Amino acid sequence: MENLVEYLDESLVPLEEKIRDYLDVERTIRLLEVEVLSLQSIRPDFDPDSHDFEQTGAAERRSDRLNEKEQRLASLLDRYRNLKQEVVNMLPEQNKFFELNLGYGPSMVGYFTIDHETRQPLSEPVLRVVH
């Protein structure tokens, strides 16, 4: 850090807010992925000789919850990609970290298209947020 208060620059507030949204969506996606995997792994004790409508109803409710979670996950992934692109568009330049304030001291964000050690192009560009 060349200037110790550079990250407090008021002009970075819109970028900071966008990064917070991006991180919130990323966290929600991770939690939702766990819920989806949990719902997918549930194996009801099904007895084919039993005509227990409660078992059938519970399985259908579980399936409905799974479908809802999967749809929400797909929607969040679209939002995540859009937020990532918006953040990239807001950055002044690529392949450089920018300091900003996410509420707990200086943080950094950067969009990298080259490997900083080898100076070779990356197969897939990376948005890095260090907080």
Quick count: other Cβ atoms within 10 Å of Cβ 40?
12
- What secondary structure letter does DSSP report for 95? S
Burial class (CB in 10 A: 0-12, 13-18, 19+), 28: middle
Nearby residues of 19 by Cβ (< 8 Å), 6 or more positions away: 87, 100, 102, 107, 109, 129
Q: Which tens digit of pLDDT belongs to each residue from 62-103?
A: 678 888 999 999 999 999 999 999 999 999 899 999 999 888
pLDDT classification of 30: cutoffs 50, 70, 90: very high
The yes-or-no verdict on residue 51 having pLDDT over 70 is no
Nearby residues of 110 by Cβ (< 8 Å), 6 or more positions away: 91, 94, 95, 96, 97, 98, 127, 128
What is the pLDDT at residue 46? Answer: 45
Output the six-digit token pair for 100.
């900003």
Domain boundaries, the chain: 11-130
Block residue for tokens 């060349």 = 2
- What secondary structure letter does DSSP report for 59? H
What is the pLDDT at residue 104? Answer: 79
What is the pLDDT at residue 67? Answer: 87
